[in-house]
A and B are shown apart, each in its own frame.
Chain A
Amino acid sequence: MSSSWLTTRAWLLMLPLLAVMVGVIGWPLAETVRLSFTDAKLVGTGGDYVGLANYSKMLTGSAFQKTLWATLWFALASVAIEMVVGVLAALLLNEKFYGRTILRALMILPWALPTVVNATLWRLIYNPEYGAMNAALTQIGLIDAYRSWLGEPGSAMWAIILADVWKNFPLVTLIALAALQAVPRDTIAASLVDGAGPFRRFRYVTLPHLAGPLMVALVLRTIEAFKVFDIIWIMTRGGPANTTRTLSILVYQEGFSFQRAGSGASLALIVTLMVSLLALAYGGLLRKTAGRMD
């Protein structure tokens, strides 16, 4: 059998999959790029070529900038809290105590829930009339009257961040817990003999072994948080007063609610570019961390 036949056969075998990939990824992407240079509406005719008008309109619009800040705020706050809470939970679950195995299994639960279920659950908790949050806070005397947590611009974003943290910190815990198993017992023993207290022991013995895996968790979580859509859409639809509107929601509104397919497409591509840059930057960071970790 000649090698050229082998090559041909390989291509033939891959052809169906290639066709599917071109069909469901390649073509829509190309269409999005094409649409982004037109003033097409969601329904109706194809629209006319408008050059970079969509891009300049989107990038300079106040909605975009406000939304970008909201997205960054959500991503930074939720990921930061998830990392801290996740690592603390992992340290706790790494200690020996009665019921540890059950608690470890239970901890995965929020992460295993579909986001839609999680978001609905928290909407019920935040309900201004019969929500558990209001009941709990009034009963312990922290607030005087029931509040609409998701209805007030001051608290809506925090309420969503709390819900997101509850759902996603278990991923960080899981990764950190796995990494903690790799912390050498000898080095912990050495630090005890050397006289390091719990904080120094964490700083010089535990943390160096956590850094690499936590970097992976950080990358995954940041990129996901930057793209956040479903949890917010279900809880507030971007409101009140657009205070919880993130980039993905803006894309959806532009393209579907306002039916402006052209500018919606340009916005979608801008967001894609930003996430790609984020992924690239983190990729570099990861390689650097891996190198330092030997």
Chain B
Amino acid sequence: MSALAIDNLTKSFGDVQTLKGINIALDSGEFLVLLGASGCGKSTLLNIIAGLAEPTSGGVSIDGRSLTGVHPKDRDIAMVFQSYALYPNLTVARNIGFGLEMRRVPKPERERAVLEAARLLQIEPLLDRKPSQLSGGQRQRVAIGRALVRQPKVFLFDEPLSNLDAKLRMEMRTELKRLHQMLKTTIVYVTHDQIEAMTLATRIAVMRNGKIEQWGTPEAIYQRPATAYVATFVGAPPMNMLAGIWREGGLQINGLDRMLDLPRPKAAKADKITLGIRPEALQLGNDGISLPLRVDVSELTGPELIVTGKIGTQRLVASFPARHRIDTGELLDLRLPADQAHFFDVETGKRLNDDSHD
């Protein structure tokens, strides 16, 4: 029995179908990230799990209990919002304990739970303050505390870190990971940030146009992206997508005379193909398939050096550890290990590599 099961769920607003048949089965204690660009339906899906919106068809169940028609407060869930959504004229302590107060939990028990949550989130000194006296990071801790004290079966997070600045976002990300490792509660987390998805998730659902484009572990999503969309959405800088044609003796990249000695996957029926290469898969050295690159721009980000140039007529980005020195105008002989080549169908965008169906 799944901790959270979503069965063939659809949602339409008038003529527009925002969710087109979502199926999810999540084990207890998993950290699921719904990842996608804005408008892909991820927030709608979260709101339906929370009971804040009704599905058009299909259903949600938690621990085998169907939630159809069940009020949000009775679903055994707790939710953390992007805008924190604190009650402005209540103290931090009452904000955290509000859910328990509404459930008529006796005061001593409530205070104990609030104190415990505050201690866990290191906001004990703030308990008597009002939300307006807190920083963004502190507010988000309070919002998380409000969810924690309820001890729900499932936590729902709606882009909780989007309103924080970069440094704080990283801190809170680590904090959330720590909390999950400690509490082992099932979490559904919505974000458009692929770094958040990669670092936090035990399971990622990449969503696009109301469908789950790929479902898998962060490693699987990164190393075996099921479609060209997933491949370019996850990873920064994004995966290079080169157009090419299968010919006698290998793959020819458009605009490049040379054939690349890559094995043609069985699923590659059409001659035209998209070759995907992660920027960090490209190496300097002697092993692998040779790719000549004329450097146009070379950017040092600190930990890595990002090089942009042309291969044939197409743009290619490669990234190296910062210790390399590469100047503009240089001609590089880049090497691609054969197992680092990703193949995608030009029409459907589907992954064609031989490992696709494991």
Mark contacts of A181-192 with chain B using CB atoms, 8 A cut-off: 1 yes-contact digit, 0 otherwise: 000101101111
Please tell me if the beta carbons of A193 and B50 are within 8 angstroms of each other in the complex: yes
Of A39-47, A72-80, A118-126, A204-212, which stretch is located at the interface?
Answer: A204-212
CA gap between A193 and B51 in the complex, in Å: 8
Number of A-B contacts (CB under 8 A): 66
A236–chain B nearest beta-carbon distance, Å: 43
Please tell me if the beta carbons of A189 and B81 are within 8 angstroms of each other in the complex: yes
Please tell me if the beta carbons of A195 and B88 are within 8 angstroms of each other in the complex: no
A144: interface (CB < 8 Å): no
Please tell me if the beta carbons of A193 and B98 are within 8 angstroms of each other in the complex: no
CA gap between A294 and B88 in the complex, in Å: 10
B72: interface (CB < 8 Å): yes
B190: interface (CB < 8 Å): no
Please tell me if the beta carbons of A208 and B50 are within 8 angstroms of each other in the complex: no
B89: which of A192, A194, A195, A204 is its contact (CB, 8 Å)?
A204
Interface residues of B in 71-92 (CB under 8 A from A): 71-73, 77-79, 81-90
Please tell me if the beta carbons of B102 and A195 are within 8 angstroms of each other in the complex: yes
Please tell me if the beta carbons of A194 and B88 are within 8 angstroms of each other in the complex: no
Closest to B74 in A: A195
CA gap between A194 and B78 in the complex, in Å: 8
Task: For chain A, give the interface size range.
Answer: 10 to 19
Please tell me if the beta carbons of A190 and B79 are within 8 angstroms of each other in the complex: yes
CA gap between A193 and B146 in the complex, in Å: 11
CA gap between A204 and B86 in the complex, in Å: 10
B297: interface (CB < 8 Å): no
Q: Which A residues lie within 8 Å of B102 (CB)?
A: 194-196, 200
B25: interface (CB < 8 Å): no
Q: Which B residues lie within 8 Å of A205 (CB)?
A: 87
Q: Which A residues lie within 8 Å of B88 (CB)?
A: 208-209, 293-294
Task: For chain B, give the interface size range.
Answer: 20 to 34
Contact A190 B89, CB 8 Å, known A195-B73, A294-B132: no
Closest to B50 in A: A193
Contact A189 B50, CB 8 Å, known A194-B99, A204-B90: yes
Please tell me if the beta carbons of B83 and A184 are within 8 angstroms of each other in the complex: yes
B325: interface (CB < 8 Å): no
B103: interface (CB < 8 Å): yes
Contact A192 B73, CB 8 Å, known A200-B102, A204-B90, A294-B132: yes
CA gap between A209 and B85 in the complex, in Å: 13
Q: Which B residues lie within 8 Å of A195 (CB)?
A: 73, 99, 102-103
Please tell me if the beta carbons of B85 and A204 are within 8 angstroms of each other in the complex: no
Mark contacts of B90-120 with chain A using CB atoms, 8 A cut-off: 1 yes-contact digit, 0 otherwise: 1000000011001100000000000000000
Please tell me if the beta carbons of B146 and A194 are within 8 angstroms of each other in the complex: yes
Interface residues of A in 118-154 (CB under 8 A from B): none
Closest to A184 in B: B83
Q: Which A residues lie within 8 Å of B72 (CB)?
A: 189, 192-193
Q: Which A residues lie within 8 Å of B51 (CB)?
A: 192-193
CA gap between A189 and B52 in the complex, in Å: 7
B residues near A (Cβ < 8 Å) are 47, 50-52, 71-73, 77-79, 81-90, 98-99, 102-103, 132, 146, 158
9 A–B pairs (Cβ distance < 8 Å), ordered by A: A184-B85, A187-B85, A189-B85, A190-B146, A191-B98, A192-B71, A193-B51, A195-B73, A195-B99
Excluding A186-B83, A195-B73, 14 further A-B contacts by CB distance (< 8 Å) are A186-B82, A189-B47, A189-B81, A190-B86, A193-B52, A193-B78, A193-B79, A194-B98, A195-B99, A196-B98, A204-B87, A293-B132, A294-B88, A294-B132
